[in-house]
Structure 1
């Protein structure tokens, strides 16, 4: 079958790879209908995540049709249309039982790497390096889905493929930031990053009752899309004093909840961006926490900062004093998709959540390298590149 493979830094190619097969009785084989690029994939392309091997199939956000099931699969049958959570959950461990699906104890097949790096191993994820299990990714014609009864979720009638696609990762990730960030009716919420995840976090905050929602970015086409689709307020940090604008909007306090949806390669027009670039090039830090710093600095006293962006290791100049002295709650997580996806699919079906607008470029799988070039380099107003095998 054809698949998009990582071959080296900034080198992805469509290759012929072996077809997947059932390996365990709880597996299913999915014929991929749609798969999409994700901002966290860019950390793989740039070599920021070091545990990749040439030939690894990338991609983790996808939907499709069940074509084969193992004997232990009870919730799906051949022909079912499903969306697949990017994080694989066994459904039986202590963490899955408490809704902490991305922390599953039984799905990361290479736990030693992250135990050494972080002190514990999170769950496995499709197409995201051997540190996260080494699973084949979704930019392919077919994918093996382990623990399928929990990892694949049926798509309701009335939800089209393109809308369902983003319920795999972007929508539940954004919703989790607003939910676990504790958004309450009447809150002011600020979201750093206006890609798919940032837009979904902003919409989640609205649906949870936020009075005002701001999204912060530097790309006008993304800010315009969010404002047009959801009616959120936008701030372009390249021509606006974000802190001053947020204080003015909140009587001098700052937002109640700040959500960081940028990640470890954040950008800034100021000298801190150069500082962090130099530090990371010299291996004196692994990640650039610019947006996290800004969220902490601008959050109101006693507020909450939730980190949705992907971080790999260590950062410099982390404002721990601000966290402590301002009485902030600081949280972060990879998405607990199984906890949210069924509810979110229902909201999509009811018209409460719009997701299809994120797919600005729908391409055949053969054009996936071009799609990633458009996505990575923000060409042609690309918000997300979607691939159809």
Structure 2
């Protein structure tokens, strides 16, 4: 089959690799019909390279048709149309019972002290072959795949794999309620969808903050009050501007949808680049013990949110020695919630919205639909935020 394969920093290629096969009775084989390119994939393209191995297959946002199932997958049959969550969970352990599928005790990567396995990610999460490919082996298929109706285009359902539950969890973790205010830092796919969900759930005021004109313009047309970072000389000016529209207090909640590759963090960027120049085994040890993130988005969120408010973090961070402004966090009595989205926990809330009325705008959410063979150029396009690239879907 053809698949998107990692070979090094900023080096992904579409190559022919062996077809996946059933290995366990709880496996299924899916023929991929659509697979998304995620902001998290860019971390592998640029920052988290010490944890990658040449030959790793990328991608974790798949949708497709069941081709084959193991003997212990009674709920699926060949021909079923499914979306596959990005994490691999069993559905029967204590953590899954708590709705914490990203902490699944069956698939936890204990070797590295990490949570549940993820498709197409680093060795920290199991190095499970990913979904930017023609076929995908799905472990724990008795629980993970979500059956969806035949008929509507893939765009209606494919975002159940990651974008929708990640944005939904970010908004829920932010405590958004009817009449409340929320600021969203970073208007990539997750941030943009979080704005839509916050408005759908009744937020009276949604504030979007970014520095990419295309992204600011897109959410502005959807009733979001926008602030362009590049129009402010310093953070103090931005805080004052947001304060002016939030009764001088700041928003009730802030969602950090940026994560480790934040704009405007030169020291963190330098440290990440230095790690990328080391021999892989040295860089891996350094990142695992003393890794740092670019923290400007998180620090801005802490400064923006009102006293007693909530900071919800959906952007991926990977540092081990990041400095945190504990004095400010404690003094402002902030609540912090964060983590990978627990996809299955939120599916029942989201599915009723994937109707012909399309209140979340999923049918037109993708900005680029490309054949899989164009994956290398798509990664470069998405990283550079060029050509209005907000969401890319691959069609094998």
> TM-score w.r.t. structure 2 length?
0.92
Q: How does 1:314-329 map to 2 (within 5 A)?
A: 314-329=320-335
> What SS is found at the alignment partner of 1:191?
strand
Distance 1:143 1:209, change over 3 A: same
Inter-partner Cα distance in structure 1 for 2:360 and 2:325: 35
Name stretches of at least 5 consecutive residues in structure 2 with no aligned partner: 276-289
The Cα of 1:13 is off from its aligned counterpart by 0.4
Q: How does 1:56-205 map to 2 (within 5 A)?
A: 56-108=56-108, 110-113=109-112, 115=113, 121-156=114-149, 159-205=152-198
The Cα of 1:296 is off from its aligned counterpart by 0.6
> What SS is found at the alignment partner of 2:270?
helix
1:239 counterpart = 2:231: yes
The Cα of 1:251 is off from its aligned counterpart by 0.6
> Cα deviations across residues 198-243 of structure 1 (Å, max 9, x unaligned)?
0111122112221000111111111112222x32121111114431
Inter-partner Cα distance in structure 2 for 1:101 and 1:329: 22
> What SS is found at the alignment partner of 2:86?
coil
> Cα deviations across residues 334-383 of structure 1 (Å, max 9, x unaligned)?
00001112431321214221123331111111111111111111121111
Which is worse superposed, 21-30 or 353-362?
A: 353-362
CA contact (8 A) 1:307 1:331 kept: yes
Q: Please identify runs of 4+ aligned residues in structure 1 that moved more than 6 A.
A: none
1:249 counterpart = 2:242: no
Which is worse superposed, 34-43 or 280-289?
A: 280-289
> Cα deviations across residues 118-153 of structure 1 (Å, max 9, x unaligned)?
xxx211100001110111000000001111132110
Inter-partner Cα distance in structure 1 for 2:293 and 2:246: 31
Inter-partner Cα distance in structure 2 for 1:159 and 1:353: 15
- 2:282 is aligned to none
- 1:118 is aligned to none
> Cα deviations across residues 70-126 of structure 1 (Å, max 9, x unaligned)?
111122111111111001111011110010111111114x4222x1xxxxx211100
Distance 1:370 1:325, change over 3 A: same
- 1:259 is aligned to 255
| Count of aligned pairs between the two proteins | 377
Name stretches of at least 5 consecutive residues in structure 1 with no aligned partner: 116-120
The Cα of 1:257 is off from its aligned counterpart by 0.8
- 1:373 is aligned to 380
CA contact (8 A) 1:185 1:210 kept: yes
Inter-partner Cα distance in structure 1 for 2:178 and 2:348: 23
Inter-partner Cα distance in structure 2 for 1:345 and 1:70: 27
The Cα of 1:47 is off from its aligned counterpart by 4.0
Inter-partner Cα distance in structure 2 for 1:358 and 1:78: 29
> What SS is found at the alignment partner of 1:226?
helix
- 2:309 is aligned to 303
1:351 counterpart = 2:358: yes
Aligned CA RMSD, in angstroms, stands at 1.5
1:387 counterpart = 2:394: yes
